[in-house]
Structure 1
């Protein structure tokens, strides 16, 4: 029930496009633009759909942050998150602070497929690295996950300590002293490492609630 309501609400965000051509992907757009594509069959034949996401835009921008193109022409625009209607299903698009977290085609039968990133985009370069160096890529992913878990544990520990310092809470539950006391350099290094880990997971479309 909630899923159907969420899909209807996101479909309602979709507005008609202006028919303009899909702009070429430029090197300097590496961190400001994501571009994904998927070929789908329709009664009129096979069509190439592309989703263009501009990370520097939001709902207050004059141009929408997400656009759907069919065979190189803009057919829909929307604010994020959004669900674009396409032949045989929908394309669900969502972003986080660190990049794209969902770019999936969901068929009417429930089948899901991740769209292919543009080879020159940050997501495309990360995917190519994963194909060429799968073991190294797996190690990077595992280390990133550990960093996120450690960061979460430290954050929760510090948060509990701060809460129990409130007089009313301390009077009923006592106080808690975090067992983790980070040196000064680590207080800056851990968040920075966590941000890098979150970006890496976003580039692989494996964002988690920890990263968000």
Structure 2
């Protein structure tokens, strides 16, 4: 019931588009724009265009739906756009899209196809052309995020354990790791890059990816 209420609320946020043409993807938009397509057997073509930096004034992120190259609808994210045969669901994280799927009336799901010039499209091409390298990169991303989560837990646990009631009843926890500043910085950068890599593939886990978001 709550899920259906959220769904109806998201659909209610959708506003009509202004009919402007879809602008082509440019190389300098690699990390602030996501563009995905849904082609339905040579019939209607939909495109979802999301500017990840958000509105310059409000910071709100909007998803724009284009139908056959023209602006058809817009909504704040998370967004649910009614389309032929179902809906398109769009959700974001701080590092990219979490979801951009066509869900049919029967419940079948299909991820939309990224623009080949986008960062997501280039990552998808790597997966198609070099699957072994793609799997290795995905595995490395998970490892970096696990390390990041462990370090975060250790860093948070120590100051929390010094709160008087906790210290008196449990004792003070002292982290067994004392990493040099350069290594801390390197691991932080590595975790950020791992989150970005997973964002390009719309991979999201509440613990791994949510810890830094």
TM-score tier, shorter chain, comes to: over 0.9
- Compute the displacement of 1:3 (Å): 1.6
Q: Distance in 1 between matches of 2:94 and 2:33?
A: 13
Deviations 1:11-55, CA, capped at 9 Å, x for gaps? 1111000011111111111111110000236xxx82000000111
Match for residue 2 of structure 1? Answer: 2
- Compute the displacement of 1:62 (Å): 9.7
Match for residue 123 of structure 1? Answer: 120
Q: Distance in 2 between matches of 1:81 and 1:36?
A: 15
Please, which of 165, 168, 174 is the counterpart of residue 162 of structure 2?
Answer: 165
Match for residue 65 of structure 1? Answer: 62
Please, which of 64, 74, 90 is the counterpart of residue 77 of structure 1?
Answer: 74
1:36, 1:117 within 8 Å by CA — same for their partners in 2? yes
Match for residue 20 of structure 1? Answer: 20
Q: Distance in 2 between matches of 1:178 and 1:2?
A: 41
SS at match of 1:46: coil
Deviates more, 1:76-85 or 1:52-61: 52-61
Q: Distance in 1 between matches of 2:63 and 2:43?
A: 23
Please, which of 193, 197, 202 is the counterpart of residue 200 of structure 1?
Answer: 197
Deviations 1:70-108, CA, capped at 9 Å, x for gaps? 100111011111111111111111111111111111111
Alignment length (residue pairs): 209
Please, which of 176, 180, 189 is the counterpart of residue 179 of structure 1?
Answer: 176
- Compute the displacement of 1:179 (Å): 2.0
Match for residue 98 of structure 2? Answer: 101
Match for residue 44 of structure 2? Answer: 47
TM-score by length of 2: 0.92
Equivalence map 1:132-143=2 (5 Å): 132-143=129-140
1:36, 1:115 within 8 Å by CA — same for their partners in 2? yes
1:59, 1:65 within 8 Å by CA — same for their partners in 2? no
TM-score by length of 1: 0.93
Q: Distance in 2 between matches of 1:48 and 1:106?
A: 15
1:19, 1:75 within 8 Å by CA — same for their partners in 2? yes
Call closer, same or farther: CA 1:62–1:201 in 2, change over 3 Å: closer
